[in-house]
Amino acid sequence: MSDTSEYETWISNFCSLYGHDYYVEVAPEFIEDEFNLTGLSSIVPFYREALDLILDFEPEANVKISDLPLIQHSAELLYGLIHSRYIITKQGLNAMSEKYQKGQFGQCPRYYCNGCKLLPTGRYDSPGMETVRLFCPNCFDLYLPNSSRYLNIDGAFFGTTFSGFFLKMFDLDKPNLKKQFELKIFGFKVNEVSNVGQRMKWLRSLPKTEEEFKEYEQID
């Protein structure tokens, strides 16, 4: 990391902004490698200027002042897209793992997940489709961030691949649904035939009996 002590780099400033605490700081070496940016120049307007801004380079040509807000916006988009690529590299995964260990992405709101730590994920890899969602490795379901300050982060900035990759890398791919909630009225279970009967039990169930395991093995 080429941290300069005199001034804050654009990247670290960007990551320390309010509501940007899901982002990790992408190593400048990663961005400087053109190979890692393949294909991005066609998605991001003012690509060259935005890249210079992210890396704190002096712009090559004079930039019109009226373009500055656009460039700033492009830089954020470009950074996000680079971010989604960076976090599936070894370095990036480690950086994200540190954040994950600290629980910086929040906890699963589901009661029986016992505050399982969440992972940020997107459902689409192209920007502008949906904001970031959180994946719980325990109940393998998707949740909304609990604060509205994360609602301006694009899901594509984390990408569809990261959460799955992370599960595999850190061996978190064992869903655990030991306890399940069952609605009762005065202590009595509600029969599934009732019009308020349980109809979503399947969503939180895993094979338990031998028969179910057999059934599970046969599925493919």
Partner 1 sequence: MSKEEEEEEYTSDSGSEFSEYWVDWFLGTKGNEYFCEIDQEYITDKFNLTGLSSEVERIPQSVDLITDNLKIEDISNDLRDHLEYNARILYGLVHQRYIITSRGLVKMQEKYKKADFGYCSRVFCQLQHLLPIGLSDHLGVSSVKLYCPKCEDIYNPKSSRHSVIDGAYFGTSFPGIFLQSYPGSVPIHPTQRYIPKVFGFNLYEHGKIARWQELQRLKLVERLAGRGIELRNKPNGYIVNKRNNNEDDEDNEDDENTDVQIKDV
End-to-end CA distance of the chain: 46
User: Which residue in the set 183, 209, 210, 211 belongs to the binding site for partner 1 (CB under 8 A)?
Assistant: 183
Which among 38-46, 47-55, 60-68, 106-114 is the span making contact with partner 1, rule CB under 8 A? 106-114
Which among 6-14, 27-35, 64-72, 211-219 is the span making contact with partner 1, rule CB under 8 A? 211-219
User: Which residue in the set 16, 94, 146, 152 belongs to the binding site for partner 1 (CB under 8 A)?
Assistant: 146
Residue nearer to partner 1 on the CB measure, 61 or 219: 219
Taking the mean position of all CA atoms in its chain, how far away is CA 113? 19
Q: Are 131 and 155 in contact (CB under 8 A)?
A: yes
Burial 105-115 (b: 16+ CB within 10 A, else e): bbbbebeebee
Residue nearer to partner 1 on the CB measure, 101 or 194: 194
Which among 13-21, 53-61, 69-77, 161-169 is the span making contact with partner 1, rule CB under 8 A? 161-169
Bridge-based pairing state of the strands 188-189 and 133-136: unpaired
* 3-class secondary structure, 98: helix
Taking the complex as a whole, how short is the minimal distance between the CB of residue 193 and partner 1, in angstroms? Answer: 6
Residue nearer to partner 1 on the CB measure, 61 or 183: 183
Q: Is 206 in the site for partner 1 (CB under 8 A)?
A: yes
Q: Is 170 in the site for partner 1 (CB under 8 A)?
A: no
Q: Is 36 in the site for partner 1 (CB under 8 A)?
A: no
Taking the mean position of all CA atoms in its chain, how far away is CA 159? 7
Bridge-based pairing state of the strands 184-185 and 133-136: unpaired
Q: What is the three-state SS of 27-48?
A: CHHHHHCHHHHCCHHHCCCCHH
**35 φ/ψ angles, rounded to the nearest 5 degrees:** -60, -35
Residue nearer to partner 1 on the CB measure, 152 or 205: 205
Q: Is 193 in the site for partner 1 (CB under 8 A)?
A: yes
Q: Is 124 in the site for partner 1 (CB under 8 A)?
A: no
Residue nearer to partner 1 on the CB measure, 4 or 148: 148
**147 φ/ψ angles, rounded to the nearest 5 degrees:** -120, 145
CA-nearest of 109, 106, 101, 139 to 120 is 106
Q: Which residues bind partner 1 (CB under 8 A)?
A: 109-112, 121, 123, 133, 135, 140-144, 146, 160-161, 163-165, 167-168, 173, 175, 181, 183-187, 190, 192-207, 212, 215-216, 219-220
